[in-house]
Amino acid sequence: MLATYKNYKGWNKELYINYSESYHTGFSNFTLKYELPSGYTLISSSDVDPQSATSTGKVEVDNVKEISVVVTKEMSAVTKKAGDVEIRVWGREDMKDSKVQVLQMMSAALPSLSQKIGAYPHHQFDVFIDQTASMEYPGLVTVTQYGQSFYYDAVVHELVHQWFYGMVSNDPYYEGWLDEGMTEYTTSLYQNNYTSSTARKLYPVETKPSNSDLTALADGKLSKALYGQPTLKLKELQESLEQEDRWKFIHTYFELYKYKQVTTKEFIRFTKAYFEMKDDSFFKDWLKLD
């Protein structure tokens, strides 16, 4: 992958961290040529994946931060159209009930979030249920096989990442809260519940600054700083607003910064302007302001 560049520090290449995303890329166009063993199917971030097992081919996807590819022989999908988006939930044959549950959740959540945040950018959305980490990629997410309440939290969270990470970019090594915090807050707003996250428990706000770099967030500090604290602070900020006005904040933020990179400094500038704040006092107890 191509490194990004910062004027004040040069090429942005950091150590690999195994407990969170530690790499930062810009938006690119991808062409992938593949050659598969017989009987295997390829599913990717592309909107035009093969519909059946094909031994060779090519997929293309434009203007994404990365491309994700799954090659499978044992998984099948249940599908449903939500507007012009085909939702496909993949799993093994013994996961039929789970696949149907997740498909129902996504067929409701995806069009609703597209209306509230902004247009979903792909014509397919693939969900993979398996014994794996829950993780987001352009047009494709993975979710751990666990249970219905977990699915509801985790799948919606990973879906929201299609906007915050997928289109509004940030440097996750230094400012991962800008996608995880915005995603968790938006997930909580959609569910109208700010304390139910089974995947990532929302913690009290007493923790490290949310824009600490990843080396400072080991030993259980990451979930508090990146997920819980920003969610609770954004909830506090908008406590007096009607639900519709909370969504308006998210929609305005998204439309202004889609396909751009946001920093903590820029988020503060935007939020102060949006809410007509006179100083930085709201941010000083949970963000580094230097």
At 43, the pLDDT band (50, 70, 90 cuts) reads very high
Give the CATH number for residue 243.
Answer: 1.10.390.10
| Residue at 152 is within a domain | yes
Among 160, 193, 213, which residue terminates a domain? 160
Separation between Cα atoms, residue 227 and residue 127, nearest integer Å:
22
Domain that holds residue 83: 28-64+68-160
pLDDT tens digit sequence for 200-251: 455 554 579 999 999 999 877 888 899 988 998 999 999 999 999 999 999 9
- Residue 104: in which H helix or E strand, if any? helix 96-116
39 and 94 share one domain: yes
Separation between Cα atoms, residue 255 and residue 275, nearest integer Å:
17
93 and 132 share one domain: yes
Among 160, 194, 228, which residue terminates a domain? 160
| Residue at 17 is within a domain | no
115 and 42 share one domain: yes
Apex 262 CA angle, 150 and 108, nearest 5:
35
140 and 176 share one domain: no
202 and 254 share one domain: yes
Separation between Cα atoms, residue 234 and residue 49, nearest integer Å:
38
Side-chain half-sphere CA neighbours of 9 within 13 A: 6
Contact between residue 283 and residue 290 where contact means Cβ atoms under 8 Å apart? no
| Residue at 16 is within a domain | no
Beta bridge partners of 80: 87
What pLDDT is stored for residue 199 in this prediction? 39
Among 107, 129, 160, which residue terminates a domain? 160
What pLDDT is stored for residue 15 in this prediction? 85
89 and 121 share one domain: yes
| Residue at 281 is within a domain | no
pLDDT tens digit sequence for 20-35: 888 899 999 999 999 9
Separation between Cα atoms, residue 126 and residue 138, nearest integer Å:
10
| Residue at 128 is within a domain | yes
Number of domains, the chain? 2
85 and 136 share one domain: yes
155-169, 183-197, 202-216, 268-282, range with the lowest pLDDT: 202-216
37-51, 151-165, 269-283, range with the lowest pLDDT: 37-51
Task: For the chain, state the CA radius of gyration.
Answer: 19
What pLDDT is stored for residue 204 in this prediction? 57
What pLDDT is stored for residue 202 in this prediction? 54
Buried b (16+ CB within 10 A) or exposed e, 63-102: ebbebbbbebeebebbeeebeebbbbbbbeeebeebbebb
